[in-house]
Amino acid sequence: MTHFISRKTILAAAALACLSNAALAQTTLGELANLKVDTTIYGFLNGQLESVQAEGGATPYSSRGRVSDGNSRLGFRGNIGVTDDLKGVWQIEAALNNFDQGGVNNRGESSTLTSRNTYVGIESKRFGQFVVGNNDSVYRSLIGSGGEFGGNLGLTVHGLDVWNNTSAQMSGNTDSIFSRGEARYKNSAHYVSPEYYGLQVGASYGFDEDQASNTNRGRWSVAAKYTWGPLTVGAGYDRQNNTGIDTTALTEGYGFRLMDSSGVKTEFAKVIARYKLHTGTTIGLGFEQGKYGFEDAAVPTSGDFYSGVAYGTAKQNAAMISIAQDIGKLSVMGSAGKLFNLKNATFGSPQDYSANQYSLGAIYNFNRLLAPYVYYTKIRNHAQQNVNLGQSPIDSNNIGRDDAFLAPGNSPRAFGIGLIARF
C-alpha cells in the first residue's frame, strides 16, 4: 500500500521543528547568561642576589655569589557556578623556579606547566571543598608553608615562617629545620571544610601508583586550625607507609634521607600558633615531632656470619619561633629554629643529627605588587645532619646531577638582597 503525506503535513512538521530548535537555543542562551564563570591569573617573580657558602663537612662549599629564584610561579584558577551554593573549581599552577638559569636547577631538573598545585574539584559553602590532582597536603596547605598561617604567600602576610619563599625560610620540605613532614601529594584527593565558628579541618590522601620494590607508600594527613580574634592555633598529623631511614646512606656519608622500606612507617605531628598584637607585632611558635622507622642489617663479624635485620623507630623533635614588626610600609622580621637530637640513631651519636638556624632581615612594600628586601640566614649542622637553605639549596657533591646533595656537617649561610614582583 502506498502512503501519501500531504504538503500541509510536511510544512506543519517543519514549522514545529523550527519552533523546538528556537526554544532549545533560547534555553541554552539563558543558562549561559546565568552561568557564573570566574578566571584569575596570579603569581610572582622573586629574584635574589646572594653570597652563599657551606663549610664544616667533608666537602666544603666555598664562598661565592649567585642569582637565586625565590619559588616564582604562574597560576590560573577559576570556578564554574552550578547552583547558588555549588560550583566547580580548578587550578593550573606552573613553577617558574630557577628562571635565572633558564628554568633548570643545579641538578638538571626542569619544571612543567602543572608542576605545582594543579587540581579540579567541587566546592560548597555549606560542605567545603573536595579536589583531586597534584596538590599540597593539608599538613602543608592548612597549617604549613603552603598557606598564610604557616607561610607568607609570596611575602604578603606574616605566617609562622616569615621568610618563606627565600633562601632564609625554615620550613616546607625534608631538608628544612622545621615542618619536615610537609609535602605536595601526587595522585591525590583533598578535602577542606568551611570555617565554622573559627574552626576548619581537612584531610588528604596520596595514592602510590608506582609501588616500587612492591611496597605501597601511600601517604595521608589530617589537620585542623582554629582562629579566635588575634590568635590562631593549628595541629596536624602526616603518615607515609613503608617509608623509613636509609641506613646505608648514613654509613656511606650521604647524610639523613628516607627511602622505601617494607614494614615500617614515617610519621609527623605538629602544633603551631600565631598571635597578632595591636602594635603591629606578629609572633609565631611551632613544635614538631618526627618518627622514622628503619630496618638495619647488622654487619657480619668473624664470630657471627649471620647479619640479620633489626627494626626500630628513631624520634626527633623540632621547634621554631618567629617575630615580625610592621612599621608603616616596612616590616622587620626574624626567626630561629632548632632540630634536636635523633633518639635511637643507628649510626653515630644522637647529637650528630641536630641543627640550628636563624634568619633576620627586612622588607619594604612600595605597594601590594612590588617589594625589595634584605636577609641573612645561618645554619649550624652537626656531623651527620644536612639541613639546607630554603628555595635554592646548596649541593656540595655531585653538582649538576639528580643525585646531588649537601655533605653532612656542612653549615650553609646566605646573605641576600631580593625583589619580588607580584601579579
pLDDT (tens place) for every residue of the chain, 423 residues total: 444 344 444 444 444 444 445 444 444 444 545 578 899 999 999 999 999 999 999 999 999 999 999 999 999 999 999 998 999 999 999 888 766 666 666 666 666 666 889 999 999 999 999 999 999 999 999 999 999 999 998 999 999 999 999 999 999 989 999 999 999 999 999 999 999 999 999 999 999 988 887 889 999 999 999 999 999 999 999 999 999 999 988 888 888 889 898 889 999 999 999 999 999 999 999 999 999 999 876 655 556 555 567 789 999 999 999 999 999 999 999 999 999 999 999 999 999 999 999 999 999 999 999 999 999 999 999 999 999 998 889 999 888 777 889 999 999 999 999 999 999
Gap between the Cα atoms of 164 and 276, Å rounded: 18
Residue 333 identity (one-letter amino acid)? M
363 contacts 332 by C-beta, under 8 angstroms: no
For 178, the enclosing helix (H) or strand (E) is none
First to last CA, the chain: 76
423 contacts 369 by C-beta, under 8 angstroms: yes
- Torsion, Cα 233 165 109 405, to 10 degrees, reads -80
Q: What DSSP letter does each residue of 100-156 carry, written as one string?
A: GGTTB-TTS-B--TTSSSEEEEEEETTTEEEEEEEEE-HHHHTTSTTSTTTS-TTTT
Cβ count near 23 (within 10 Å): 10
| Bridge partners of residue 312, in order along the sequence | 294
Q: What is the pTM of this model?
A: 0.86
Q: What is the pLDDT of residues 13-25, one digit of tens each?
A: 444 444 445 444 4
Count, in order, helices (H) and strands (E) of the chain: 3, 17
Q: Which of 281, 287, 414 shows the shortest CA–CA distance to 360?
A: 414
Confidence at residue 214, expressed as pLDDT on a 0 to 100 scale: 81
| Bridge partners of residue 379, in order along the sequence | 357
Confidence at residue 19, expressed as pLDDT on a 0 to 100 scale: 40
| Bridge partners of residue 421, in order along the sequence | 45, 370
For 21, the enclosing helix (H) or strand (E) is helix 7-34
Domains and CATH numbers, the chain: 41-422 (2.40.160.10)
Secondary structure (3-state) at 399: coil
Gap between the Cα atoms of 204 and 138, Å rounded: 6
46 contacts 416 by C-beta, under 8 angstroms: no
